[in-house]
Amino acid sequence: MKILVVGSGGREHAICSAFNKSEKTTKIYCADGNAGVAKIAECVSIKPDNIKELADFAGQNSIDLTFVGGETSLALGIADEFERRGLKIVGVSRQAAQLEASKSFAKDFMARHKIPTAAYKTAFSVTEAIEILEGGEFGNEETPVVVKADGLAAGKGVVVAQNRAEAIAAINEMRNLVGEIAADKIVLEECLFGREVSLLLFADGKSFALMPPVRDHKRIGEGDTGANTGGMGTITDASLLSDEQTAKIIEEIIKPTLEGAAQDGFPFRGILFLGLMMTEFGAKVLEYNVRFGDPETQAILIRLKTDLVDICEAIISH
């Protein structure tokens, strides 16, 4: 089986390594890869956002399976284009990718399907966002509040402000930090307190299989200080979630999410990544991602005992 992996990070190296363990794999390509990936796969100089060229390559080289690493390709509709051409791909549709690509879309989805998450408000301008804060909807001047850019921002579009002044500063800086498109809308959220954990799963549109829970360290400084990043490192251990907690997450979050996606017209086929806060009132969703995390993948896939090719074939077959 010839496999194409789309992406260029440590995540994609871990994905290529997992495919390399399969007896079914005969050749791995990675677009556009990196120096580490080049040791186990043939790197192809096509950028992950060049959807047409990726599809052309897959067709011309008789690729049996394409696996998408990052969110940008998915948000641009790579899965839709590949499926239109009859090419097999593991990755969610462009519509499903909005669960990650738009924070306001995701929050509205959660509200509509009664999925536990923080209270929120979407602002359509800097002025409106500041007016919402100054109106007291998220507490007084000393109340922490979360400021999020609506669009994709490589893990850098979230600021946990400790007070209103910090939140207003973050709002004013957001466009400079992540760009005008990502900050076209701003989502304000109540600040949740508790222990953060991530839970990933494989989904085929009808059923799902959980991966082990994982926790990443987002802040750039020592002692959990400084700005958020895409992830400085990660750990995975069964003790991060109890069996009881996992069972509640399945019933209150995972099933409503997958059922809601199907009801809204985009059955979820691919990787679902739940960013959760374990509060005193139970798990609440901080964010959805629609692909493997980076650096979470590096910790998770090394524990995978099932052939990743078999998993991908099961996802595609449904």
Task: Map out the domains of the chain with their CATH numbers.
Answer: 2-91 (3.40.50.20), 119-190 (3.30.1490.20), 193-317 (3.30.470.20)
Q: Which residues pair with 289 in a beta bridge?
A: 273
Residue 313 · residue 3 · CB < 8 Å: no
Q: What is the pLDDT of residue 182?
A: 64
- Mean model confidence pLDDT for the chain: 95
Residue 260 · residue 118 · CB < 8 Å: no
Q: What is the pLDDT of residue 58?
A: 99
Q: How far is CA 36 from CA 6, 32, 210, 289, in A?
A: 15, 12, 28, 25
Mean pLDDT of 284-288: 98
| Among candidate residues 298, 262, 283, the one with its CA nearest the CA of residue 92 | 262
User: How far is the C-alpha of 268 from the C-alpha of 205, rounded, in Å?
Assistant: 5
Bigger pLDDT: 311 or 217?
311
Task: Read off the pLDDT of residues 176-204 as tens digits, 9 standing for 90 and up.
Answer: 777 776 668 999 999 999 999 999 999 99
Per DSSP bridges, beta strands 282-289 and 27-32 are: unpaired
Q: What is the pLDDT of residue 146?
A: 98
Specify the amino acid at residue 116: P
Q: Which residues pair with 219 in a beta bridge?
A: 228
Mean pLDDT of 145-172: 91
Task: Read off the pLDDT of residues 18-71 as tens digits, 9 standing for 90 and up.
Answer: 999 999 999 999 999 999 999 999 999 999 999 999 999 999 999 999 999 999
Task: Read off the pLDDT of residues 238-275 as tens digits, 9 standing for 90 and up.
Answer: 889 999 999 999 999 999 999 999 999 999 999 999 99
Task: Read off the pLDDT of residues 98-131 as tens digits, 9 standing for 90 and up.
Answer: 999 999 999 999 999 999 999 999 999 999 999 9
Q: What is the pLDDT of residue 48?
A: 98
